[in-house]
Amino acid sequence: MNFEEMKLSAETLRAISDMGFEEATPIQSQSIEIILSGRDVVGQSQTGTGKTAAFGIPLLEKIDIADRRPQALILCPTRELAIQISEEFRKLLKYRENIRVIPIYGGQPIERQIMALRKGMQVIIGTPGRVMDHMNRRTLKMDSIRLAVLDEADEMLDMGFRDDIETILAQTPEQRQTILFSATMPKEILELTRHYQRDPAHILVVHKELTLPSTDQYYFEIKEKVKLDALCRIIDMENPSLSLVFCNTKKLVDELSEQLQGRGYFAEGLHGDLKQTQRDLVMKKFRNRTLEILVATDVAARGIDVDDIDIVFNYDLPQDEEYYIHRIGRTGRAGKTGKAFTFVVGKEIYKLREIMNYAKTKIIRKKLPSLGDIEETKTRHFVDKIKEVIEEGHLIKYINIVEEMMTEDYSALDIAAALMKFHLYDADAEELDMEAEPVALARKNARLRDEDDSMVRLFITAGKKDKVKPKDIVGAIAGETGVPGRIIGHIDIYEEFTFVDVPKEYSKVIINGMKNKKIKGSKIHVEKAYESKR
Ligand code: ADP
Ligand code: MG
């Protein structure tokens, strides 16, 4: 839904547009108008789905400028959140005057808050403890509250704020409007809503809507040092007109954009160290398509409001699972199907699994396109192009040249084929050994090799890369778990991981004993190389 379709003031719409929000998120689409209408709402959706604006936009629209008393109270679990909410509110209020918002939380001198409250604050955002404190000192009166919001209600209950919340709500007028937002809905919360809300609208945004169903998501297991080649190869193959490449650091953004430029791509980097004018220039190029590839950090990409991005690349796996959603949310907009490609190196495969769990999404393994694949695509494009040129006509000048060559005994077929070769043949192309041995495949091989029923093959996330030697494996297992070293069987060390055969009866002890332990300084994970045959 568009914000323009909602009954919002021109000032609010302008502020929302300045914030770079293009369209309302599902929870916003469903809650804003209901809250505006005055009805109680209990809303559930995952973190990062824009719940702050979902209650903030209608709440701020309902503030009466003429009344200087507290009108809205937002309770939230932490100081950080109180500050974040008040910052988002200030942005929403950019074009409106005379609405006063204050965050109140523990850790800040109470006198300062008392002075600020005396000036007349209409919107109070606070943690339950500090709000209680002010209530008891009578520096904050609840009898003028018309709207109460419990944000991250589940978190507040987990933190033991239930009594405080009930005490606070009990002091507010009964005819108030009450909004409750939570990422989860345990029974306790339903009890709260039964006590403190009147006929609330239940708004549930199911996970599916959050996982960007119109984005096809793939990952490639590759070696670190071939990432650049892999990226270029995929771009050549897919031929996107706009792509966005995410890196985890500013340094890498600079390096990668230079490397891409060096290879003849129209690429630019975007990160927080660039001056505003530089950023604006890059964004302008991106918008008017003089740029094909934008390389960016998560923070820099946050403000990007460009539709039509064909492919998002996670050149680096995002550090935070939530970032993954934000990143791939940059493609597949406006009803189009976008693609997201993620590079995974070594142990990152475990992190990728966590991301899949978190995002409730499936990311499919894909093989890098081979040189043959790319050649085929290039040929197809070239042939299409030739057909277009023939359609366009005006070829007489060139027909003359061909006819002239044909008098020298070359056939039209020879001439055409030579032109093709001249255009398509790439002497520099070489097949690189790009793909890392995928964990899954190696595990399958391990199963085939394992014929001894008394032994179990374990999988350890440390390998040659970590300079692991067989004696380190034996030493670590014997040292950490106390099993005698001599019982340890065959050891296969690969680049990124290792297989170890151990007697069946010891496997549990070893797997448990090695949990969160280190080998050669790096933290490892041990599990059975394959599920036991049932
Ligand atoms: P939640 O409370 O659900 O965890 P937040 O309200 O903190 O989520 O919002 C997460 C991020 O998304 C914030 O940076 C916010 O500014 C941004 N955001 C919120 N609504 C939109 C929107 N409609 N379009 C784009 N970004 C949005
Ligand atoms: Mg929130």
Q: 201-204 and 455-460 as β-strands: parallel, antiparallel, unpaired?
A: unpaired
Taking residues 309-329, report their average pLDDT: 86
Ligand 2 centroid from CA 194, angstroms: 22
| Per-residue model confidence (pLDDT) at position 166 | 95
Residue 430 has pLDDT above 80, yes or no: no
Residue 83 has pLDDT above 60, yes or no: yes
The answer to pTM > 0.85 is no
Ligand 1 centroid from CA 88, angstroms: 9
Residue 327 has pLDDT above 90, yes or no: no
Q: Where are the alpha helices (DSSP H) in 176-247?
A: 187-196, 207-210, 227-238
Q: Poorest-confidence range of 31-40, 320-329, 460-469?
A: 320-329
Q: 72-75 and 147-150 as β-strands: parallel, antiparallel, unpaired?
A: parallel
CA separation for the pair 184, 166 (Å, rounded): 19
Mean pLDDT of the chain: 86
CA separation for the pair 187, 180 (Å, rounded): 14
Residue 377 has pLDDT above 70, yes or no: yes
Selected residue with higher pLDDT from 87 and 372: 87
- Nearest Cα to 123, choosing from 174, 60, 168? 60
| Per-residue model confidence (pLDDT) at position 354 | 85
Ligand whose nearest atom lies closest to the CA of 6: 1
CA separation for the pair 18, 11 (Å, rounded): 11
* pLDDT, tens only, 162-199: 999 999 999 999 999 999 998 888 888 989 999 999 99
Q: Which two tokens stand for residue 44?
A: 């559930």
Sorted by sequence, the CB contacts under 8 Å of residue 6 that are 6+ apart come out as: 24, 32, 33, 36
| Per-residue model confidence (pLDDT) at position 1 | 80
Residue 307 has pLDDT above 70, yes or no: no
Which residue, by CA, sits nearest to atom 25 of ligand 1? 21
Query: What is the SS3 string spanning 296-363?
Result: ECHHHHHCCCCCCCCEEEECCCCCCHHHHHHHHCCCCCCCCCEEEEEEECCCHHHHHHHHHHHHCCCC
Owner of token pair 């993954």: 324
Q: Label residue 210 by pLDDT band (50, 70, 90).
A: very low
* pLDDT, tens only, 45-81: 877 788 999 999 999 999 999 999 999 999 998 888 8
Residue 466 has pLDDT above 70, yes or no: yes
Helices 187-196 and 162-171 cross at an angle (nearest 10°) of: 10
Residue 234 has pLDDT above 70, yes or no: yes
| Per-residue model confidence (pLDDT) at position 533 | 38
Mutating to test ligand 1, I would choose from 18, 47, 49 the residue with most ligand atoms within 8 A of its C-beta, which is 49
Sorted by sequence, the CB contacts under 8 Å of residue 323 that are 6+ apart come out as: 298
Which residue, by CA, sits nearest to atom 17 of ligand 1? 50
The SS3 assignment for 506 reads: helix
Beta strands in 413-521 (DSSP E): 455-460, 491-493, 498-503, 518-519
CA separation for the pair 466, 183 (Å, rounded): 40
Q: Residues whose CB is under 5 A from ligand 2 (ion)?
A: 51
Residue 448 has pLDDT above 80, yes or no: no
Which residue, by CA, sits nearest to atom 10 of ligand 1? 48
Which residue, by CA, sits nearest to atom 12 of ligand 1? 50
Query: What is the SS3 string spanning 376-392?
Result: HHHHHHHHHHHHHHHHH
Please report the atom of ligand 1 found closest to the CA of residue 45.
Answer: 3
CA separation for the pair 387, 369 (Å, rounded): 26
Taking residues 295-317, report their average pLDDT: 81
Selected residue with higher pLDDT from 140 and 236: 140
Residue 305 has pLDDT above 80, yes or no: no
| pLDDT over 70, % of the chain | 90
Which residue, by CA, sits nearest to atom 16 of ligand 1? 50
Residue 201 has pLDDT above 90, yes or no: yes
Which residue, by CA, sits nearest to atom 15 of ligand 1? 50
CA separation for the pair 100, 248 (Å, rounded): 38
- For the chain, which domains are there? 3-204 (3.40.50.300), 215-369 (3.40.50.300), 372-430 (no CATH), 455-533 (3.30.70.330)
CA separation for the pair 320, 316 (Å, rounded): 11
Ligand whose nearest atom lies closest to the CA of 154: 2
Mutating to test ligand 1, I would choose from 13, 16, 19 the residue with most ligand atoms within 8 A of its C-beta, which is 19
Provide the 8-state DSSP code for 370: P
| Per-residue model confidence (pLDDT) at position 73 | 98
Q: How far is CA 195 from the centre of its chain?
A: 37
Selected residue with higher pLDDT from 73 and 374: 73
Residue 17 has pLDDT above 70, yes or no: yes
Please report the atom of ligand 1 found closest to the CA of residue 88.
Answer: 16
* pLDDT, tens only, 212-232: 556 889 999 998 888 998 999
Taking residues 481-485, report their average pLDDT: 85
Owner of token pair 């390389």: 295
Which residue, by CA, sits nearest to atom 5 of ligand 1? 50
Q: Label residue 145 by pLDDT band (50, 70, 90).
A: very high
Task: State the number of CA atoms in the 13 A half-sphere of 156 facing the CB.
Answer: 29
Maximum CA extent, the chain = 105
Q: Poorest-confidence range of 44-48, 114-118, 210-214?
A: 210-214
| Per-residue model confidence (pLDDT) at position 488 | 86
Ligand 2 centroid from CA 48, angstroms: 7
Ligand 2 centroid from CA 243, angstroms: 30
Taking residues 402-431, report their average pLDDT: 83
Which residues' Cβ are closer than 6 Å to ligand 1? 21, 24-25, 28, 47-53
| Per-residue model confidence (pLDDT) at position 481 | 87
